Amino acid sequence: MSSANHLSFKNDVLTNVFRTYTLITMTSNIKKRQLIHNKFESLVKLSLEVESKPRRFGTDERLSSKEIHLIELIGDTGERLSVTDLSVQANVTKGAVSQALKRLENKGLSQKEPDPSNRSRTIVKLTSKGKSAYFAHRHWHEQKDGGYLAYLQSLDDEKLDFLISFLTKTEDLMTAILKSDG
């Protein structure tokens, strides 16, 4: 399956799950139900599109979302983590982290070094090019997230609790559907 088809398939699955859920649970107001469905569908499409679009982040290298977020993790943790530590922090396998690190090393963005406090352990560090990408990514988020962050910070506890509850229920629903046989 091509990357575009894979994204389309993911999008179709997520939106159909949400469509079914909203049709079952929100039968009282069709206009609001349709608006919620349309917003969710748009959010899924945009999210998949953002995740699939490589960006340069201050370097000459195109970086996938997974690559820049691994760079972010390395930078945010003070460059003290091993491959195992990174896999735990990122909640992915060591193999997935190793493959991503190999791509970052090939692009000149990261390197492995012996841990000075434990020579049997290797830690991952950013090169100067990797640090440039790290700081450019932080700056990008500051520019892009500013209004959204201010909006979230303006919400009172009741609205935040509702948002958390809604997202948790949606996450639980999707998790249950993924685990089911049919």
The predicted model scores a pTM of 0.70
Instruction: Give 17-27 pLDDT, tens digit per residue.
Output: 666 555 555 55
Report residue 155: phi and psi, to 5°. Answer: -75, 140
* Measured CA angle at 167 (ends 91, 5), to 5 deg: 65
Structure tokens at 31: 């206009």
Alpha-carbon span 46 to 52, nearest angstrom: 10
Dihedral sign for Cα 79, 84, 90, 94, please: positive
Predicted local confidence at residue 9, as pLDDT: 47
Chain segment 12-64, per-residue pLDDT in tens: 656 666 665 555 555 567 787 788 878 888 988 898 898 889 999 999 999 99
Calculate the alpha carbon distances from 43 to 40, 91, 93, 109, 163 in Å.
Answer: 5, 24, 28, 31, 15
Indicate the pairing of strand 110-115 with strand 118-126: antiparallel
Band the pLDDT of 6: cuts 50, 70, 90: very low
Q: How many residues does the chain have?
A: 182
Query: What pLDDT score does 147 carry?
Result: 82
pLDDT at 97: 95
